[in-house]
Amino acid sequence: MPNQHDEHDNRKTIAEFREAVNMTASELSAWLRADESQEVGQKKGDNESTGHQSGRQIVELLVKKQADYDDDDLTQMHHTISYVHRHLAQRPDGDISETRWRYSLMNWGHDPQKK
In a domain, 65, yes or no: yes
| Pairwise CA distance, residues 84 & 111, whole Å | 10
In a domain, 114, yes or no: no
In a domain, 113, yes or no: no
In a domain, 17, yes or no: yes
| Pairwise CA distance, residues 54 & 21, whole Å | 12
- pTM of the full structure: 0.88
CB 99 within 8 A of CB 111: no
In a domain, 56, yes or no: yes
Measured from the Cβ of residue 78, the count of other Cβ atoms closer than 10 Å reads: 14
Write the pLDDT tens digit of every residue in 56-113: 999 999 999 999 999 999 999 999 999 999 999 999 999 999 999 999 999 999 999 9
| Pairwise CA distance, residues 70 & 114, whole Å | 29
pLDDT value of residue 15: 96
Range of the domain at 100: 7-107
pLDDT value of residue 46: 65
In a domain, 19, yes or no: yes
Burial group, residue 58, by CB count within 10 angstroms (0-12, 13-18, 19+): buried
**Tally of structural domains, the chain:** 1
Bridge partners (DSSP) of residue 43 are: 49
In a domain, 112, yes or no: no
pLDDT value of residue 7: 82
In a domain, 2, yes or no: no
Write the pLDDT tens digit of every residue in 6-63: 888 999 999 999 999 999 999 999 999 998 888 887 776 667 778 788 999 999 999 9
